[in-house]
C-alpha cells in the first residue's frame, strides 16, 4: 500500500516513462527499493530515465529512508554509475 509510482508526462499528457518505489518490509523500517524503470522508445534520448532515477532518489530522501536499493540490469549499470547511484 505504500508503493509509489513516479510518472513522467509529455506536455500533451502522454506517458514518457515511470518508476516504482516501495518499502522492502512491513512495517516500513527505512529500507526501500526502486524497480520497473521504464522509458518510452521515443523518449530515450530525452533524459527521462536519469530524471526518473533522480526523482526516485529525491522522493525517498525526503521521506527519510535509510537505505535505497535497485535491481539494475548489467546493460544499464553505467547509467546508474554515472548518476552516482
Distance CA 62, CA 6 (A): 14
Cis ω before 46 (30° cut-off from 0): no
pLDDT the model gives residue 34: 94
Intervals of the chain under pLDDT 70: 85
pLDDT the model gives residue 22: 96
Whole-number Cα distances in Å, 34 to 17, 27, 49: 14, 17, 13
pTM of structure: 0.89
Amino acid at each position: 500500500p505504500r508503493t509509489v509510482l513516479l510518472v513522467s508526462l509529455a506536455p500533451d499528457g502522454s506517458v514518457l516513462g515511470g518508476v516504482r518505489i516501495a518499502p522492502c518490509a512491513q512495517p516500513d523500517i527505512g529500507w526501500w527499493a526502486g524497480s520497473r524503470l521504464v522509458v518510452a522508445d521515443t523518449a530515450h534520448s530525452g533524459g527521462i530515465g536519469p530524471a526518473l532515477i533522480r526523482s526516485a532518489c529525491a522522493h525517498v530522501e525526503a521521506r527519510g529512508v535509510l537505505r535505497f536499493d535497485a535491481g539494475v540490469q548489467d546493460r544499464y549499470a553505467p547509467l546508474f554509475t554515472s548518476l552516482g547511484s
